[in-house]
Structure 1
Amino acid sequence: MPEVIFSGPAGRLEGRYQAPKKKGAPIAIVLHPHPQFGGTMNNQIVYNLFYTFANRGFAALRFNFRGVGRSQGAFDHGSGELSDAAAALDWVQSVNPEAKSCWIAGVSFGSWIGMQLLMRRPEIEGFISIAAMANRYDFTFLAPCPSSGLFVHGSEDRVAPAREVIPVIEKVKTQKGVIIEHQMVEGANHFFDGRVDELTQTVDTYLDKRLGAKTEAA
């Protein structure tokens, strides 16, 4: 899992990249939680999601938003971080020119950024959105949502309570053929403390359904 440094709109961005074994493999980018509340690419959920995709043969990238770790720049309240995510996708595509599709995964703040990127990049065909704070960030831009994907919340989330978030997400319009699924991890808080393995299994099960079970060739 080599360390990579690539150019972002506010300077260099630091990431970790797993190259695929096969040409034409899909791309997956994983976005971390809020930078001002300790979110980094080494967050346990981000780390697990990264390997969930890498183990399926994806070209997988996780990276630090501007101002985090060795990434240059300063926190920009979402606008700059969206530009960072777009630059990250551009970089992975540049080293995987045969890739025809992409998935985006985000955790909390990263979920909000990822869903905005989804609206701007038609090659993104699936998403995983963990602990989306639809009670704090506006998700009405998903009108309609162009790709199928999965939202996962913890039943004991006090930061983005499911009772507030799920109704907001369910109002999201979808295009024909697009299916948005919701899953709940019982007993999990916003950070999935002690429940990360259950969260990872939930995502794996969903990806099995969308992509087929992992194979030795992946």
Structure 2
Amino acid sequence: MPEVIFPGPEGRLEGRYHPQKEKDAPIAIILHPHPQFGGTMNNKVVYNLHYTFHKMGFTVLRFNFRGVGRSQGEYDQGVGELSDAASALDYLQSMNQNAKHCWVAGFSFGAWIGMQLLMRRPEITGFISVSPPANMYDFSFLAPCPSSGLIINGAADRVAPPKDTQTLVGKLHEQKGITVTHEEMEGAGHFFEEPHMQPMLDHVETYVRRRLTETSR
């Protein structure tokens, strides 16, 4: 997979870009967990989400937030990281100007950043939020949530307790015209350690394929 370096707000950002042959293939960016707790674009959940989207026919980009790996800059409490994500989406769109659909997927901290990006970019048609840390970050900006998506978490998550995720989903369900699908996986923790990783990816794939089928009718 080609390594890419593209411009970010604080210097270069390092990514992995995996294109499709079709010029109008849908596009997706994948956002990694917290930079100060070892989160990188090579996190297992992020890596596997990347390849799951590519297998479904998406051109995919995952990248390191500022200060991680070869990406320049320093951790910025989520503010700069949101700008990094916007720059990554700009880069991906510039390479794929005929893309029919645009998705964002994030894990943990990356799910929080992804949901904020969703609010800023009306062209995003779907989202995947894996283990959103609703106990640590304020998600009240999702008012209203601009597009439908999937929130998936583990029932045994000790980092982001399920009750906080359930509260978040409950608020999002109150909105018209938007369907937020929620999957809570029995026995799975925050990081979807084996044997829970593949079932989680299967849920994601089933959801995304259904959405793509609906929009192609």
Question: Could you say which TM-score interval applies, normalised by the shorter chain?
Answer: over 0.9
Deviation at 1:172, TM superposition (A): 2.5
- 1:192 is aligned to 192
Alignment correspondent of 1:40: 40
Report the equivalent of 2:159.
Answer: 159
Q: Describe the superposition over 1:118-149 as per-residue Cα deviations: whole angstroms up to 9, x where unpaired.
A: 00000000000000011110001000001000
Instruction: State the Cα distance separating 1:175 from its structure 2 match.
Output: 5.0
Task: Name the structure 2 match of 1:130.
Answer: 130
TM alignment of 1:1-218, pairs within 5 A: 1-172=1-172, 175-194=175-194, 195-212=196-213
Q: Distance in 1 between matches of 2:210 and 2:45?
A: 21
The 8 Å contact of residues 142 and 173 in structure 1, kept in 2 or not, is answered as no
- 1:139-168 residue CA offsets vs partner (Å, 9 max, x unmatched): 010000010000000010011111122112
Paired residue type of 2:146: P
- Mapped to 1, the partners of 2:95 and 2:168 lie a distance apart of 37
The CA distance in 2 between the partners of 1:142 and 1:90, in whole Å, is 22
Tell me the CA shift for residue 174 of structure 1.
5.9
Partner Cα separation in structure 2 for residue 20 and residue 91 of structure 1: 16
CA–CA distance in 1 between the matches of 2:108 and 2:192? 11
**What do the CA deviations read for 1:75-129 (whole angstroms, capped 9, x no partner)?**
0010000000000000011111112421000000000000000000000000000
**Structure 2: which amino acid aligns with 1:42?**
N
SS at match of 1:124: coil
Q: 1:119 to 1:69 in 2, by over 3 A?
A: same
Unaligned runs of 5+ in 1: 214-218
Deviation at 1:68, TM superposition (A): 0.4
Structure 2 unaligned segments of length 5 or more: list them.
none
Do the aligned residues in 1 keep the contact of 2:105 with 2:111 (CA within 8 Å)? yes
How many residue pairs are counted as aligned between the two chains? 213
CA contact (8 A) 1:153 1:185 kept: yes
For the 8 Å contact 1:82–1:117, the answer to whether it is kept is yes
C-alpha distance in structure 1 between counterparts of 2:5 and 2:43, whole Å: 19
Q: Which amino acid aligns with 1:26?
A: P
